[in-house]
Each structure stands twice: as structure tokens, then as C-alpha cells.
Amino acid sequence: MVVDAEQNGLRITSGGDRRVTRIGRMLRKLKIDELPQLLNVLKGDMSLVGPRPEVEEYVKLYEEDYKEILKRRPGITDVSSIIFREEEAVLKNQADPEGYYKKVLLPEKIRLSKEYIQCSTFLFDLKLVFSTLYKIVFPPASPPDAFTRK
């Protein structure tokens, strides 16, 4: 991201966001931008699998829901990381990207985080790690236009 990116736009990024540098786009596409978080895992601040951290501004919108989620150590990957791998492309196609994020994507991410908390096991976490790696190596041919609940 460019310097002072938070002061020059939304708290989320959508495809074509001018605040993302050319190198940043490449790192994001390959998900290499997440590698520094491995240091947080080694320090014990994060885990490989767990609810993804969210921007405080958005947490406040769903404070009651986040009370349960924030009790868990955040992770580098989770179910929503896999489902919403192409989030930037989805947001790019929305008339109001932030509104769509707040009203559609964020509630679904919260639901998935709560579901994960209820059913997390070592084997499930292992499956999520391998699913994440698979999605990085074999990304979808074309990103979806919008998230639709199935």
C-alpha cells in the first residue's frame, strides 16, 4: 500500500484500488502479503488457523457478535479466507463497496467465524490449511461478481 493509505480511502480494498502499489498487487494475488504474519504466529500472537482479525471500526458495528470471536486467537487463515479469496474483485463490482462489505460480507464472515469456533478441531484446522494452500496454487479462473449464499 502507499504511504498513508488509511487516510486516503476506505478501510477495505477493492480491485483496482489505487492505494495498492504494483508490487503490492502481485504480493496480494499470490497471498505472499500474509507471510509476515508467520512472525506473529511464532510470537504466539496469532495462530495458523482462527478467525481473521478485523478492523476495529467494523468490529464496533457488530460488537455483540465479536465478543465471542475476539476471545479466540486470530489466525492467518479461516473458512472465510477461502470463501472470500477474491473479495477485492467482488467489491470492485459493487456500487457501494463499503456498504456491501458491512451489510453482506461482514455478517457472513461473522457467521463463519462463530461456526468455526463451534467445530474447530486439529483435523479441521489441517483441512483449512491445505484448502488455503490449494486455493493459492490453483486460484479460480474468474472471480465471482458478488457473494451469493448457497
pLDDT for the residue 79: 94
Contacts of 50 (CB under 8 A, 6+ apart): 72, 73, 74, 75, 78, 116, 120
Assess if residue 9 is contained within a domain: no
Cell numbers representing residue 119 in the block:
467445530
Rounded CA-CA distance 122/126 in Å is 6
pLDDT for the residue 28: 67
pLDDT for the residue 150: 47
Which H or E run contains 5?
none
Assess if residue 28 is contained within a domain: no
- The domain tally of the chain equals 1
pTM: 0.78
Which domain range does residue 93 map to? 36-137
Assess if residue 26 is contained within a domain: no
- Find, among 39, 65, 64, 61, the residue nearest to 51 by Cα: 65
Assess if residue 83 is contained within a domain: yes
pLDDT for the residue 27: 73
Q: What is the pLDDT along the chain (150 residues), one digit of tens a residue?
A: 545 656 565 565 655 666 667 777 677 666 677 778 889 999 999 999 999 989 899 999 999 999 999 999 999 999 998 998 888 888 888 899 889 999 999 999 999 999 999 989 999 999 999 998 898 888 777 656 556 554
Instruction: Note whether 4 and 81 are within 8 A (CB).
Output: no
Assess if residue 70 is contained within a domain: yes
